[in-house]
């Protein structure tokens, strides 16, 4: 048994998922800011709409990836905890 709750194999994927999530949240904040800054009666530019859509997809992928990694890591930990080590009895002669 290891003392780590998440295996070393999952940590790069977890980091990548969180980077995508934080980056997408920053893009979403930028798109929201640009949408409200330009509210002088003109329509919102297409690039702001596209940026918001990409950011929304990124947030969904970030949360989905994070959930999937936690699910797989938890399942692997549960399987490892259920393993029973069989120790054969020694004969005392």
Chunked in runs of 10, what are the mean pLDDT values of the chain (93 residues)?
A: 68 90 93 81 84 93 92 85 76 54
Res 41: pLDDT = 75
Picking from 33, 54, 55, the residue whose alpha carbon sits closest to that of residue 44 is 33
Res 55: pLDDT = 93
Res 1: pLDDT = 47
Res 2: pLDDT = 54
Instruction: Please report, for residues 16, 63, 91, the alpha-carbon distance to residue 19 in angstroms, rounded to integers and kept in the order given.
Output: 5, 11, 56
Res 92: pLDDT = 52
């Amino acid at each position: 048994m290891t003392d780590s709750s998440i295996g070393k194999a999952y940590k790069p994927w977890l980091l990548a998922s969180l980077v995508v999530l934080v980056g997408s949240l920053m893009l979403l904040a930028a798109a929201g800011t640009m949408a409200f800054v330009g509210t002088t009666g003109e329509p919102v530019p297409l690039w702001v709409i596209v940026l918001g859509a990409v950011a929304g997809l990124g947030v969904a992928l970030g949360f989905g990836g994070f959930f999937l990694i936690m699910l797989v890591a938890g399942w692997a930990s549960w399987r490892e905890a259920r393993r029973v080590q069989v120790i054969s009895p020694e004969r005392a002669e």
